Amino acid sequence: MSEEGYELNYVKEAFQTNWISPLGPNVDEFEKAFAIKIGTKSAVALSSGTASIHMALKAAGVGRGDIVFCSSLTFSATANPIIYQNAIPVFIDSDLETWNMCPYALEKAFQKYPNVKAVLVVHLYGLSANLDRIMEICDKYKVPLIEDAAESLGTLYKGKHTGTFGDYGIFSFNGNKIITTSGGGMLVSNNEERIKKVKFWSTQSKDPARFYQHSELGFNYRMSNVVAGIGRGQLKVLDQRIQKKKSIFEFYTHELSGLDGIEFMPINEWNEPNYWLSCITLNDRVKPLDLIEALESNNIEARHVWKPMHMQPFYKNYDYVGSDISKQLFEKGICLPSDTKMTHEDLGRVVDTIKRLWYQV
C-alpha cells in the first residue's frame, strides 16, 4: 500500500465509527503499537511533543523553584515546559563526539547544584546522546532522567531505542519530524502508574465522581482519535523513512566529504541514527549564512543549527555550565535539506550549489 493508504484507512474508520472525538480506539492502538515498536511498557498519546515534555516534568515531580538540567543546544520547546512548571533551567553544554549533552559539564553542574530535580537530555537531529555516561551520573545522584527524543524516533543507542533509557521519554509528530500526524506527541515510560497519572492530568483531571469534580489541576493535552489514526499509518512507514533519510545522508557524505573544511555530524559506533536531518559544520572560510544564501538563490532551503538556549534573549538570566561547544556548533553548523520526498535530481542540485560556492571562495 502507498504511504497515504494506511493513514486514510484508519482516519476513515474514525469517521465511520463516529469516533471524531478525543480518545477512541485509534488512540489506544497507536499507543500500544508505539510502545511495542520502541520497546517500552507504556505510552500516552498527547497533543504535542511540548505537552509531552510538560507532563514528563510534572510526572517526575518538578515544580515551583526546582532546578532542571537541560541541554542548551536544542529547540526552545525542550526548555519552555520547565518554565511552565515554574522551575529553573540550568543549561548544559554539548560535546563534539555527540553534539548532545556533555557528561563532564553535567557532572560539574551536579557539583554546583546537588539538589537538582531532573535532567532533560536531548537527542538532536537523530543523534543519540552519550547515554551510558549520562545515566551513570543520574543514577549516582538518584535524579530522574527525561529524554527529549522528539527528533530521534527510531534512533538506536547500542541496539536499543532512544527514549526508552530514562525514566521518561518523549516524541513529537509535528509536521517536520520523521513521522508526522500534522501535530502530536507521545510520552513513554516503564512506570505504568505514572503514565496512568498523565492520562488523568491530560484529560482535565476529572475525579471519578458522578459530577465534574477536580482535586488536581487539569490539562487538555490528549491526542484526538482522528490524529491517532494518522499516527498508526505513519508508524508503519517509519523504517522506510529511516532508510531514505540514511540514503540522503550517504549521498551527501559521498559527494561532499572531499571538500576541505566540511565536517559531517558525528556517527559513533554505538549510535545508529534515524538521520532525521543531515547536518554539517563548516570551517572559517565559508560562513553558514553564505551557504544558506547560495542555496536560497537556487530555491533550496537550508537552516542554521539550533541556537543554544543560553544564548537566547529569553533565557539569558539562567545559569549555563560548560564551555563554548554548543556556541561553536551553532556558529558553524548547517542542516542540509533532508526531506524524504527529495529526488536524486534535487539532491544533485544541492551538492552542485555547495561545490560551486566552495571553489569560488
Which residues sit at the interface with ligand PLP, rule CB under 6 A? Answer: 48-50, 74-75, 77-78, 122, 148, 150-151, 172, 174, 185
Nearer to ligand PLP, 43 or 286 (CB): 43
Q: Least separation, in Å, of the C-beta of 185 and ligand PLP?
A: 5
Q: Least separation, in Å, of the C-beta of 204 and ligand PLP?
A: 20
Pairing status of strand 118-122 against strand 145-148:
parallel
Nearer to ligand PLP, 259 or 310 (CB): 310
Which residue is nearest to ligand PLP, using beta carbons? 49
**DSSP tag of 337:** P
Q: Least separation, in Å, of the C-beta of 332 and ligand PLP?
A: 20
Nearer to ligand PLP, 106 or 122 (CB): 122
Q: How far is Cα 351 from Cα 337, in angstroms, rounded to an integer? A: 10
Nearer to ligand PLP, 124 or 325 (CB): 124
Which residues on adjacent β-strands are paired with residue 88? 67
Identify the CA nearest to 69 among candidates 99, 98, 112. 112
Which three cell numbers mark 323? 564551555
Q: How far is Cα 253 from Cα 309, in angstroms, rounded to an integer? A: 29
Centroid of chain to Cα 302: 19
| Buried b or exposed e, range 328-354, using 16+ CB within 10 angstroms | bbbbbbbbbbbeeebeeeebebbbebb
Q: Least separation, in Å, of the C-beta of 172 and ligand PLP?
A: 3
* HEC secondary structure over 79-113: HHHHHHCCCEEEEECECCCCCCECHHHHHHHHHHC
Nearer to ligand PLP, 169 or 353 (CB): 169
Which three cell numbers mark 6? 494506511
Q: How far is Cα 181 from Cα 142, in angstroms, rounded to an integer? A: 36
Nearer to ligand PLP, 100 or 281 (CB): 100
Nearer to ligand PLP, 184 or 288 (CB): 184
